[in-house]
Amino acid sequence: MQFPDINNPVNSSALSGMLKDDALKGKTIIITGGGTGLGKAMGTYFLKLGANLVITSRKLEVLQKTAGEMETETGGKVLAVACDVRNYEEVEKVLNDAVQMFGRVDVLINNAAGNFISPTERLSANAFSTVIDIVLKGSVNCSLALGKYWISEKIPGNMLNIITTYAFTGSAYVVPSACAKGGVLALTRSLAVEWGRHGIRTNAIAPGPFPTKGAWERLLPGEMAEKFSFKNRVPLKRVGEHQELANLAAFLISDFSAYINGEVITIDGGEWLQGAGQFNGLEMVTDQMWDEIGQSTRAVKGS
Ligand code: HXC
Ligand code: NAP
């Protein structure tokens, strides 16, 4: 058996994609925030698997550039529509444009987000609600529009919400995002049950650190990227590869995961658990220290 090299642990064949070439053939997928970062990575892979793609966010120029690159790379079809997910009418327009172009929509990826680090007491009320509105209200708007459409058209839709691990742990310094992502987690589990009888599946992915320009500029600005190394917080001692997230997302929206509903899958190299176990911080204990500790703890009898 061949083990991965610890300095280069991602097997290159895993980075060329996991599923069969036509795994998403015939499916039309809307990705919010699909012009950049993880949304772009997922969308590119979905196209390679035969899907039709609709990408949406506020900046039309960014979307159009990405759509062009995606079409050139994959030969697939991409519709780029500007939309602020905070506005329900704009979300409905994305859906209508998508149906007009592709005939129907099968999958929604709630991926758009807004976030920045700040001590909470420094935030204005508007700063707090801006993040809540993009992440929670935006996901609600998209889910509601798509859910109404799927139920009335009797389409067994599929929704995938990109949350974070601090949706379940909470996190200091990103409190609006933590509150909003926690709400999206509740949305995921609630709709999985309520809309399951319509054949609609709702799942979530909780990614750990996957470097993107959008996240790193706002969460690790300047010297912070070096001072607060995500890599060292992860038991596997590396950050995620975009294709690894795309592989998981493609599986969850494909028919291969047809019995998975209401699930949240964490993909973080073990990062959040590293912070959870009381004794997890003992990495710095050397072998020699463990020898001494072993002798000393064995010597404790009956006291
Ligand atoms: C404090 C801030 C702030 C900051 C903005 N505000 N940035 N307050 N610290 N760094 C305040 C503003 O002063 C204003 O309040 C209010 O927030 C709204 O700001 P606008 O700039 O008007 O908002 P808008 O143009 O809608 O932009 C939204 C945004 C921006 C969230 C502020 O950063 C954005 O567009 N983000 C989109 C992309 C993104 O965030 N990607 C990262 C996702 S990463 P006042 O009171 O002055 O009006 C992620 C990963 C999590 O979620 C886990 C990683 C490991
Ligand atoms: P990103 O590139 O900044 O992606 C965020 C996207 O959301 C952008 O394309 C942005 O486009 C869009 N967006 C923001 N506000 C919007 C609005 N009001 N309406 C519509 N679209 C809006 O960051 P990313 O790292 O790829 O993040 C993608 C997702 O992964 C997010 O949900 C994030 O919380 C999650 N995540 C990321 C990480 C990570 O390590 N990168 C970890 C955990 C979770 P416009 O500016 O054009 O609107």
- Give the ligand 1 atom nearest the CA of 114: 40
pLDDT exceeds cutoff 60 at 1: no
CA of 165 to the centre of ligand 2 (A): 15
Average pLDDT, the chain: 94
Residue with CA closest to ligand 1 atom 11? 127
* Residues with active-site annotation: 166
* Domains observed in the chain: 20-302 (3.40.50.720)
**Phi, psi at 111, each rounded to 5°:** -120, -20
Instruction: Round to whole Å and give the CA distance between 46 and 25.
Output: 9
pLDDT category at 10 given cuts 50, 70, 90 is confident
pTM: 0.96
Per-residue model confidence as pLDDT tens digits over 223-267: 888 888 888 899 999 999 999 999 999 999 999 999 999 999 999
Mean pLDDT, range 17-44, rounded to an integer: 96
Measured CA to CA, the distance from residue 118 to residue 235 in angstroms comes to: 26
> Which bound ligand lies closest to the C-alpha atom of 117?
1
**How much is the pLDDT for 120?**
96
Separation of CA 11 and ligand 1 centre (Å): 36
Model confidence pLDDT, tens digit, residues 165-191: 999 999 999 999 999 999 999 999 999
pLDDT digits (tens, 9 = 90+) for 113-171: 999 999 999 999 999 999 999 999 999 999 999 999 999 999 999 999 999 999 999 99
pLDDT tens digits, residue range 50-104?
Answer: 999 999 999 999 999 999 999 999 999 999 999 999 999 999 999 999 999 999 9
Spatial separation of the C-alpha atoms in residues 187 and 81, rounded to whole Å: 25
Tens of pLDDT, residues 96-121: 999 999 999 999 999 999 999 999 99
